[in-house]
Amino acid sequence: MSSEANVRVRPKETEHEINERGYFVRQKNHFTTPFGEGEGKLPVEAGRYRLIWAKGCHWSNRASIVRELLGLEEVISINLVGHGKHEQNLGWEFVFNENQSDPVLGVQFLSELYASADPEYKGRPTVPAVIDVHTGKVVNNDYVWLTNYLEKEFAPFHKAGAPDLYPAELRADIDKYNDFLFDNVNNGVYKAMFAQSIEAYNDAYEHLYAALDSIEERLADRRFLFGDYVTDSDVRLFVTLARFDTYYFKNLGPLRNRIVDFRNIWGYARDLYAIPAFKNNTYLRDLARGNGDKSTIFIDYNTRFWDQIDYEGLWSQPHDRRAKSSDPEQKFKTQH
């Protein structure tokens, strides 16, 4: 049962995460204790943690994809949250479960798990959130490093033949490129969508498309961002690409290009989507679902067409990405 004392109204980004110039400044992650061995780290144990994520949130979608790629389904349990209808915005809720309650944690709202971990926490309760099922508390919401913890610290629990998404020899380069993706693409779309001044919007928009142009060029002669095999960076880019033409476009203003207009990026995105872990954790139709008023002629694109578009067919169209690899039959470098 939910504890009213721990159910919090969701803070508004427009009141807490916009600076004086109208720029969106995303809140910092609060629970950042790393996983690993030794004092001051979260112990790496099978069955101890539960990953909470949401279909629409690409930060959390990254973790759900990597969890399946590495075969951690029996090691880290999982559940989805969504938004319920209340007089006030109470944030992420276990709307897909009976009685809107997580069957393992016994709570209705994600905010309860944040309040249990830190009663003084004032920020937005965000996903991904890793919960210690022994205590019912959030122990990590650090989307910046979470997939890397799954790839590195949880290696003893990886399935046989699991992909090496974070090769030791590339980690410095991957980390640097991930920073670029965060600033310009992953968070770049939000900086444009949430901007409260035209100056902030134009700045974010220009950086976003400059980044997409550089990625389009990078993918001209390589199958994936770091060559022949999928890495952590590809997961991070994919989750934004999957939402661009299905959802983000509505709030981005006049678009210079859709994702389908970038020849290399669009083929690359479909190449990744063909991988079961990507497809299984990407709910394209749910992302596109429109909830506008169909009784008027002036309704948005998604309200009109979200249930008519063959997303599976669109994302399964053939492409020529295999030809860019020296190992075309394999998309992953496996661990040894």
What one-character DSSP code corresponds to residue 28?
P
The Cα 112–Cα 107 span in angstroms is 7
The Cα 180–Cα 186 span in angstroms is 9
- In the three-class reduction of DSSP (H, G, I as helix; E, B as strand; rest coil), residue 239 is classed as helix
Q: Which of 23, 57, 177, 205 is catalytic?
A: 57
Is 57 designated active site?
Answer: yes
- In the three-class reduction of DSSP (H, G, I as helix; E, B as strand; rest coil), residue 131 is classed as strand
Q: Which of 23, 49, 177, 190 is catalytic?
A: 190
The Cα 14–Cα 10 span in angstroms is 12
Tokens of 18: 């916009």
Tokens of 203: 């700045």
Contact 31, 138 (CB under 8 A): yes
Of the chain, the end-to-end C-alpha distance in Å amounts to 46
The Cα 108–Cα 308 span in angstroms is 33
**Given its phi and psi angles, is residue 106 left (phi above 0), alpha (psi -120 to 50 degrees) or beta?**
left
- Annotated active-site positions, please? 57, 190
